[in-house]
Chain A
Amino acid sequence: MTKAHGKRPWTFYVLATLFTLFVIFLYGPMISIFILSFQGPTGGLVFPLRGVSLTWFGALFGQARTGDIGGAFSRSLPLALIVLVLTVLISVTAGFAFRRRFRGSTAIFYAAIISLIVPGLVLSIGILVTFRFLDLRANWYGSALGAHLSWTLPFGLLIMFAILGRLNPAYEEAAYDLGASRWQAVSHVVIPIVFPGMIAVALFGFTLSYDEFPRSWLTVGSKNTLPIEIWTMTTNVTSPALYALGTVTTAISLTAIALAIGSIAYIQRKRAMRL
């Protein structure tokens, strides 16, 4: 009698199976690579695992034949950080500008959004051609930076729209009412309230740039960023060092995300209950 109440319909099992398959598909490859990166010294690119070791992590940083990982990383990280700073700075200020409709604001908005739609590869060909035409050298801090911004800025702007759209204008009016200047209203009221959103913009800026391949490929010039270096390695490196590299870069991305989400959660917790 009571069992009949708790009985699940058959659709539950179908959907649960589907979901399980989806999760395996999503995380299976990542977990496989993670496990295989600890392959023993005599092991190959495929299962089974022949012992467990850190050999391939060592190979990653030790040997020349695996490619210039250290160099690529030393370009990718600063690039991602520069993109982060510029994305936050430009998206936040642009977001404020768009709160009041101004002449041509719609046109500017669409112009910013178009670069989300244009295929990255096509865009970077365009950048490369333009640089050649202007007789400039393509490099990671010039052409690649621009290419990355064309990708992160529209995202940042859209996030700021969502955040500022929810910001009750009464907060700013209350600040003016209480004697704040325009700048004080921004620095003491608006920025602190939208700060979690700014972290989200920063996170997008960083991870989109750090992982970007199509927009980097043609625009980085002679020195590669990390995603391109990895791609190059797949064509000539045939050792589990590749997997070790995958594990390391994924760990960096996850750390960045965890830091961002953690700080948002911390701020909101502090607001909800004063410690």
Chain B
Amino acid sequence: MLRAAPAPKNAAAQRGSGEIRLVNLTKTFGDLQAVKAINLTVPHGSYCCMIGPSGCGKTTILRMIAGHETPTSGEVFIGDQMVVGLPPVQRGTALMFQSYALFPHLSVRDNVAFNLKMRGDAKAARYARVDEMLALVHMTQFADRMPAQLSGGQQQRVALARALITNPRVLLLDEPLSALDEFLRLRMRGELKRLQNKLGITFVHVTHTQPEAIALADTVVVMNQGSIEQAASPHDVYAYPRSSYVARFMGGQNVLTGKVRGVAGDSVLVDGPGGALFRAPASGQKPSAGSQANLAVRRDMIELRRGKASGDTGENSIQANVETVEYQGIYHKVTLSRISGEEFIVMEPEATFFAHPVAPGDAVVASWDIKGLRLLEPDRAAGDATQPYADDRAS
């Protein structure tokens, strides 16, 4: 019913690549360094999610790419063009605002036609293109409505159509799903991915929701206080977090801390709290004995045994008490007593859990295979990832 790529009438489409390159990009607001010398390349036609707690600088980066914020220093390239100083429309970018910012005095049709009207296209040509875009986002039957008459999900589709009519090389999305309820959020998430596949342009999507980022992105960029903590595929970020910050923020891992006892062959021995001994793959790292070590263990690769261990629990295991048990459908989320102040969660598959259920107050031994454990890079900056939702609006 519709072609994938809209008619290449717009100059931006002809200009080619939607690769984004940020070079030493820095932004300061007064004394606050919102973005600290970021370097990042987002390949053409890929889906990039920037994730981090409020105030980590992700929205500021997005706005600098869009041209609504001027970098303090550094450069932004789109394709092979340095775009700092160019107005938004000459960058080949289109921004979808968190509030959607649909013009309340214009109908859906005129909202979507806005760019063409500003460009001076004739009415008939404008409306023909609008119909095409509305069909793309399945909003054809709402063309005559006013924005106030639409639901949140419908408004978002209109905002998408309005942004895409400019034929952007890069679509920038500022927390696009945050205003929707859970059900719609999941549906729109699927549609964003479908659209990106269909259009083949670069999407940069800012979010603070982990499942959203790993479900959508080709590249997940985890931000912490104006710096990039890790930029990698969703699988790498989730399964192989580089730092304790990423491990905590992405949420699939428990972070353990201890002191390095030494390196033995291709594994590292770490003395943990309460006499526990951890053995992790060294994977090329050679931490010096006595130094502080952060380890991450996957929450779904931990085994629980009821009861107290007699004497030593053995390598890669800890003695703890169950605090809460939450049923989550496929998994049971078992929260154990804090280990040196850190949350320790075990995701037990349903069958395993029911074979030997545990209840709050039970003493358990949690153990895991060496393959589930990773030695993390030492902490750089003190970032607090334990409260990522503390202040959503501030970003």
The interface of chain A, by Cβ under 8 A from chain B, is 168, 170-171, 173-181, 184, 188-189, 192-193, 195, 271-274
Contacts and interface: CB of A to CB of B under 8 A. Distances in A.
A177 B118 contact: no
A79 B75 CA distance: 57
B225 interface: no
20 contacts: A170-B101, A171-B103, A175-B103, A175-B118, A177-B68, A177-B88, A178-B94, A178-B115, A178-B162, A179-B88, A179-B89, A179-B115, A188-B114, A188-B118, A193-B105, A271-B104, A271-B105, A271-B148, A272-B149, A274-B149
Contacts, number: 75
Contacts of A273: 146, 149
Interface of B: 66-68, 87-89, 93-95, 97-99, 101, 103-105, 107, 114-115, 117-119, 144-146, 148-149, 162-163, 166
B101 A274 contact: no
B114 to A, nearest CB: 5
A193 B104 contact: yes
A179 B166 contact: yes
B29 to A, nearest CB: 14
Contact of A177 (B89, B105, B107, B145): B89
A178 B89 contact: yes
Contacts of B93: 177
Contacts of B66: 177
For the complex of A and B, 7 pairs with smallest distance between CB atoms: A170-B101, A179-B89, A174-B101, A178-B115, A192-B105, A179-B118, A177-B88
A174 B99 CA distance: 11
A176 B103 contact: no
Contact of B146 (A175, A189, A195, A274): A274
Contact of B103 (A181, A184, A193): A193
Given A178-B89, A179-B166, A271 B146 contact: yes
B101 A168 contact: yes
Contacts of A174: 95, 97, 101, 103
Nearest to B88: A177
A191 B68 CA distance: 21
Given A173-B97, A272-B146, A179 B119 contact: yes
Contacts of B89: 176-179
Contacts of A168: 99, 101
A174 to B, nearest CB: 4
Nearest to A184: B118
Given A170-B97, A271-B146, A274-B144, A175 B114 contact: yes
A180 B118 CA distance: 6
Contacts of A271: 104-105, 146, 148
A171 B111 CA distance: 11
Nearest to B93: A177
Contacts of A189: 103
Contacts of A192: 103, 105
A39 B99 CA distance: 60
A116 to B, nearest CB: 32
A192 B114 CA distance: 14
A175 B94 CA distance: 11
B246 to A, nearest CB: 31
A219 B119 CA distance: 51
Contacts of A195: 105
Contacts of B99: 168, 170
Given A168-B101, A178-B163, 14 more contacts: A170-B101, A173-B95, A173-B97, A174-B95, A176-B67, A176-B68, A177-B67, A177-B95, A178-B162, A179-B166, A180-B114, A192-B103, A271-B105, A274-B146
A73 to B, nearest CB: 37
A200 B95 CA distance: 33
Contacts of A180: 114, 118
B156 to A, nearest CB: 14
A176 B88 contact: yes
A173 B68 contact: yes
Contacts of A184: 118
A69 to B, nearest CB: 42
B334 to A, nearest CB: 43
B150 to A, nearest CB: 12
A42 to B, nearest CB: 57
B392 to A, nearest CB: 17
Contacts of A178: 89, 94, 114-115, 118, 162-163, 166
Contacts of A175: 103, 114, 118
Contact of A171 (B101, B146, B148): B101
Contacts of B97: 170, 173-174
A229 to B, nearest CB: 42
A180 B105 CA distance: 16
A192 to B, nearest CB: 4
Contacts of B163: 177-178
Contacts of B68: 173, 176-177
A192 B99 CA distance: 19
Contacts of B149: 272-274
A177 B146 CA distance: 21
Contacts of B117: 188
A176 B87 contact: yes
Nearest to B87: A176
A269 to B, nearest CB: 10
A195 B104 CA distance: 12
A192 B111 CA distance: 13
A181 B114 CA distance: 12
Nearest to A267: B105
A167 to B, nearest CB: 11
Contacts of A176: 67-68, 87-89
A271 B117 CA distance: 20
Nearest to A189: B103
B139 to A, nearest CB: 15
